[in-house]
Structure 1
Amino acid sequence: MSKINILIADDHKLIRETWSYILNSDARFQVIAECGDAQEAVELAKTKRPHVVLMDINMTPFSGLEATQRIRKISPGSKVIGVSMHSQPAYAKKMLQMGARGYVTKNSSKEEMIKAILEVNHGNKYICDEIKNIISEQLLDEKEDSPNINALTEREMQIINFIKEGLSSKEIATSLNISLKTVEVHRHNILKKLKLKNSASLVNFINTNATYI
């Protein structure tokens, strides 16, 4: 089985040497070149055509993002994995937009880096667990903060439907045979449950979600 040829581009010599040692100790890989700046990385990719490039984002004289874009143009067969200390999903997204096939943080384990190399070499994309966990947490937080119609009581849904029809609080009170104060309490509770600030935002919410109410 032929080895996966790898180019390591990182501005820290110790990191380059460490990864070279780790990967060359594995029979599946061969580090064919390493460099400390983005321009040299682009030139090496052009001449050596590595299967995989491990690209640090923070590079000089231009960023690893730009280097990735250039490498994808001159050596389309080379698959780039972004490597960075940044764990914000936005960095991973930008790197993938530039043409990278994977993204791992410097908190990733040796096993995960090897998994990333194997995955992208086989034509798949790979995002490290740290980034995926952050994205999952953000999605859960957004879900928790979003208005929940299911939290409304039957009476509150009745009042929303009256508001939808354009009835005032006084008219709603008359229709339901309850006091005006009770209607106002219900409206307050509706705003609280739907995380809305005022009656205008409630009307906008009703119009926006008319299909579901």
Structure 2
Amino acid sequence: MLVNIPATNKITILIVDDHKLIRDTWSFILNSDPRFQVIAETDSGKTAIELAENNHPDIILMDINMSPMNGFDATKEIRKISPDSRIIGVSMHSQPAYAKKMLQVGAMGYITKNSSKEEMIGAISEVAQGNKYICHEVKTILSEQILEDTEKPDINLLSQREVEIIDLIKQGQSSKEIALELSITLKTVEVHRHNILKKLNLKNTAALVNFINTAGIA
């Protein structure tokens, strides 16, 4: 643990991480920048709470993977006793769920240990100005998840007639049999099948059958 007298014209920083090499590296990088001053560092969530209460740092770099008190719990407590301290979650995890949870408990930012030195400094600068910051790695994964979700077939796009046809396809009926079952022309069935594939963004009947089976339709 290192505690210095804060410089009033600098952004004061508390580093919380259970790896000494990381704490030493971050301290060296940040203290080399005239905008920042690392005023304390610790490997303990409990000690981090005490340091935050006594020193009220501007920024806290908080490792979320610590024991016995993890970064989520430490963040909750620090928000109560030093509300002006802005916390940036730091983790090896790039899944958006971790970033979301950290922000929910009061953090203002989230970076991973894959983030560059420049990104860490950028995150500190943004959060110090009152802005929220999520690192590029997490944003990229989140964007991919959103795209995957939007590309998934949506059964709600289908008309009632199209749903009926899907049900008959599931039963193994051919287009001719479906036409007889629904008292419509073969051409109408083929048009419906084409529209079903288009609406569900599926390439062929095999993909449709697979979708029907995996989605548990009808």
Contact 2:63 2:91 in 1 (8 A): yes
Contact 2:109 2:132 in 1 (8 A): yes
Query: Structure 1 length as normaliser, TM-score?
Result: 0.77
Change (3 A) 1:187 1:114: same
Alignment of 1:1-213 (within 5 A): 2-147=9-154, 160=162, 169-170=179-180, 173-174=183-184, 178-179=185-186, 182-193=187-198, 194=200, 197=212, 201=217
Change (3 A) 1:85 1:183: same
How far did 1:162 drift?
10
CA distance in 1, matches of 2:39, 2:128: 15
| Aligned residue pair count | 187
Change (3 A) 1:85 1:161: closer
- Matched-pair identity in %: 56
Contact 1:172 1:183 in 2 (8 A): no
Contact 2:162 2:196 in 1 (8 A): no
Gaps of 5+ in 2: 1-7, 166-177, 201-207
1:46 alignment partner, SS class: helix
CA distance in 2, matches of 1:126, 1:9: 18
How far did 1:172 drift?
5.9
CA distance in 1, matches of 2:51, 2:69: 15
CA distance in 2, matches of 1:29, 1:109: 17
CA distance in 2, matches of 1:161, 1:43: 61
2:212 is aligned with what amino acid?
K
How far did 1:37 drift?
1.0
Change (3 A) 1:107 1:162: closer
**What does the per-residue CA deviation read over 1:45-98, in whole Å, with 9 as the maximum and x for residues that have no partner?**
011100000000111221101001110011001000000000000000000001
Contact 1:46 1:75 in 2 (8 A): yes
2:28 alignment partner, SS class: helix
Contact 2:16 2:60 in 1 (8 A): yes
1:197 alignment partner, SS class: helix
Change (3 A) 1:76 1:138: same
**What does the per-residue CA deviation read over 1:89-122, in whole Å, with 9 as the maximum and x for residues that have no partner?**
0000000001000000001011110111011111
CA RMSD of aligned residues (A): 2.9
How far did 1:169 drift?
5.0
**What does the per-residue CA deviation read over 1:122-156, in whole Å, with 9 as the maximum and x for residues that have no partner?**
11100000000111111111122233999x9xxxx
How far did 1:170 drift?
4.6
